[in-house]
Chain A
Amino acid sequence: DAGVIQSPRHEVTEMGQEVTLRCKPISGHDYLFWYRQTMMRGLELLIYFNNNVPIDDSGMPEDRFSAKMPNASFSTLKIQPSEPRDSAVYFCASRSDTWDEKLFFGSGTQLSVL
């Protein structure tokens, strides 16, 4: 398996533009997570899905952020409109529904909002 795949690896955009981050989880994994990593706040859970259904979105910072999982193999995180304070590395992770509790992370998307 290729692991969790995120795209793009880097995104540079201007304030006010819409940004869409993409994630393909590992096949067969029931859970998908979106995390944001910044120097000041470290890793923060934004939202997670179980079987394509959003379970906990309490970490989504504000209404400008939205996430979808239309099927088991694809998820998007959208920011509209983007702001400079959204600049961070966004990680997607997935895991299977086993006792193992092991998260598999993608390589992240480095987002810079100018």
Chain B
Amino acid sequence: AQSVTQPDIHITVSEGASLELRCNYSYGATPYLFWYVQSPGQGLQLLLKYFSGDTLVQGIKGFEAEFKRSQSSFNRRKPSVHGSDAAEYFCAVGSGANNLFFGTGTRLTVIP
């Protein structure tokens, strides 16, 4: 069965600290992987995606994500977090955008 697990419901970090958002998936075929961000009262916006090729994907605002097939993971990292990064982040997996399975999200709080 397809599923996405984001083990951290809420993460609090200090501004300038490094960050890793975890995402593990279970999928029967080669997955397409996505990270979306949701700001308060807003819909979701695509941050980055992985289809194939280089397993390290660069996104906007200094974020990157790495696909590790052996670990069924697509964790997202940033070396130095900014206050504006505070939001809720969703990992999603599917065989395409038509049948995405979303994780339950990780809420990021940034302390000045």
Contacts and interface: CB of A to CB of B under 8 A. Distances in A.
Given A4-B43, A91-B44, 14 more contacts: A42-B90, A42-B102, A42-B105, A43-B92, A43-B105, A93-B44, A95-B97, A101-B32, A102-B49, A105-B43, A105-B44, A105-B45, A108-B41, A108-B42
B70 interface: no
Interface string A63-105: 0000000000000000000000000000101010000011111
Contacts of B36: 103
A108 B88 CA distance: 15
Given A42-B102, A42-B105, A55-B98, A103 B90 contact: no
Given A42-B103, A42-B105, A108 B98 contact: no
A6 to B, nearest CB: 8
Contacts of A42: 90, 102-105
A48 interface: yes
A103 to B, nearest CB: 5
Contacts of A91: 43-44
Given A42-B103, A42-B105, A48 B43 contact: no
29 contacts: A4-B43, A31-B98, A33-B98, A42-B90, A42-B102, A42-B103, A43-B44, A43-B92, A43-B105, A44-B102, A56-B98, A56-B99, A91-B43, A93-B44, A95-B97, A101-B32, A101-B49, A101-B51, A101-B96, A101-B97, A102-B49, A102-B97, A103-B46, A103-B97, A103-B100, A104-B43, A105-B43, A107-B42, A107-B43
Say what secondary structure dominates the interface of chain B: mixed
Interface in B33-50: 34, 36, 41-46, 49
A68 to B, nearest CB: 19
Interface residues of B, number: 22
Contacts of B100: 45, 103
Say what secondary structure dominates the interface of chain A: strand
